[in-house]
Amino acid sequence: MCGIVGYTGPQSASVPLIAGLKRLEYRGYDSAGIALGTAGKLFVEKKAGKLSNLESALDSSLPSVHSGIGHTRWATHGGPTDQNAHPHLDNEGKLAVIHNGIIENYTELRIALEAKGHKFSSQTDTESVAHLLSDLRKEHQGDLTKAMRDAVKVLRGSFTLLAIHADKPEEIVGVRRNSPLVVGVGTGENFMASDVSAFIEYTKQAIELGQDEIVTMDPTSVVITDLDGKTIKPKTYEISWDATAAEKGGFSHFMLKEIFEQPKAVADTLIGRLSDNNQILLDELHMSKQEIQSLKKITVIACGTAYHAGLVAKYAIEKWAKIPVEVEIASEFRYRDPIIDSTTLVIAISQSGETMDTLMAVRHAKSAGARVLAICNTNSSTIPRESDAVLYTHAGPEIAVASTKALLTQIIAVYLIGLHLAQANGSLSDQQVHEIYNELLELPGKIEQILETVEPLRELTRKFAKNDTVLFLGRNIGYPVALEGALKLKELAYIHAEGFAGGELKHGPIALIDQGTPVIAILPAGKEHALDEKMLSNIQEVKARGARVIVIAEEGVVVEGAEHVITIPVVRPIFQPILATVPLQVFAYEMAVARGNDVDQPRNLAKSVTVE
């Protein structure tokens, strides 16, 4: 969602603010703006559209000041216009606010504030906060921190807020509730942002903020207090990413770079996870063998691409650990009275750790007595902090909105969990685990093989650029792969794409097949359950109705009736999603490029969905 940056220090503030906003462009936005801390009255500029529109408006008359706040907005209340762009000001033009999230009670606040004489100039929920803070600050004789503390007690919803005032321009005050905010601590300068990538060019020292914690910073200090005004000792950590990891590195798009980073991401997530005596090392789970053996079921909660990782988890954990697994769309989970208790392990999967639907599902699960394990790629984000345990993946920063390497590392994480649970249950021997783990270690090299031979696929994809429908078929563990392939194509190419279980074809979906309809089929690995033969029959069914069939199959497999066969290395069937997903990522990427779409920032989408 929205990108937020605050800076105070010796630099000309516009430089780190614009640099930070550029690094946050991946989050998705439709307008941008900054407020600079000039004494007497703030300098504000904001523009609808891309960040370049804002930069063009910031001419040579830009004041050289040393503090400010910047924002990229993803519209919720009010359309993407100059007027609705952030920052929003009070009527004196001295107090500016930027905001990520939703203020649920903004209408009643606006009515009350208008009754007191405040004039509104936008349709946003955020502007009500600027006017509210202005009044509260006057009540507290100019203390913006106390004003923010009182404002938060009034506000309902999920939000991150940053505020600055012209009477004390070097000071920035922020707060978070169910929405991301992190502090960057530099030498004689400090930062706030919705993501560490905004300031990793300047510092790697960060402070995590808890729920409803107020942070007040100037160039030399950072003070964190709770809603009662009590000072809280900061929880600091060092950022492991570097600035170059968030840059394209010679690739035309972040997404393409991240596709090619997948071998390393998978290897990094696997490293050091098997002991000398063949035990899977997952100390992060904080569960004894007895606690694992007492589990009656596992529930996976996730959204979007992470949900597909959860579907793979079901196959792997049930196969290896013999524990029943349910997979739930997080946004639906808490609204159907799910049956969970202390014998349930809930696995919450989120790349950012800030996905609001998943966070609320986590809270519901914990309130019901379940133990929650998070799988996350972002250190110290909200979902890991509120879970009982966390298994971090090591994908590094993922900038493109459409997830690639995060998905593969999530799948690796659920494989490791499945093996760990299986060892505790005794359903797999140590020798079996050793053999499976060694095969996992071979996957990065096999992904490399696919990427080394990807150019013909990119060329092939361009031939389908004018098609308006593409269908994906999979069986067994290939079904989540089909769903992911369809999702990626919808996200990037903006065309109708659906993923189906192969056996469901005759139950309705086959009616979609027309002359020339592209169908991508994932042929099951090996001969397990004779599903390869069933999928081959599905291929003949769609071929007979005029489909153009593309098949993803293991090396050496001959598929009669396929127009194109994309080969992947031979693997254990349960590992096929790691390899079969990669060509589908490339297919979606190339389709988007061929259709002239914005690959890294698809329309209407945001990287981190921080509202329900």
Question: What are the residue numbers of the active site?
Answer: 2, 607
CA-to-CA distance for 66 and 174, rounded, in angstroms?
Answer: 18
> Among candidates 273, 271, 258, 242, which has minimal Cα distance to 305?
258
Write down the H helix ranges in 244-393: 254-260, 262-270, 289-293, 304-321, 330-333, 356-367, 382-386
> Among candidates 603, 610, 612, which has minimal Cα distance to 4?
610
Contact yes or no for 279/423 (Cβ under 8 A): yes
67-73 vs 205-208, strand pairing mode: unpaired
Is residue 87 within a helix (H) or strand (E), and if so which, with residue range? none
Beta bridge partners, 216, equal 173, 223
* SS3 of residue 278 by DSSP: coil
Write down the H helix ranges in 24-143: 51-57, 106-115, 127-139
CA-to-CA distance for 266 and 262, rounded, in angstroms?
Answer: 6
Q: What are phi and psi of 542, to 5 degrees?
A: -75, -35
CA-to-CA distance for 275 and 283, rounded, in angstroms?
Answer: 12
In the sheet with 371-376, reading across from the earlier edge strand, the strands are 325-329, 297-302, 344-350, 371-376, 389-392
In this structure, what DSSP letter does residue 142 have?
T
Contact yes or no for 265/396 (Cβ under 8 A): yes
Residue 547, C-beta contacts closer than 8 angstroms, at least 6 positions apart: 471, 513, 516, 517, 518, 519
Which amino acid is present at 282?
L
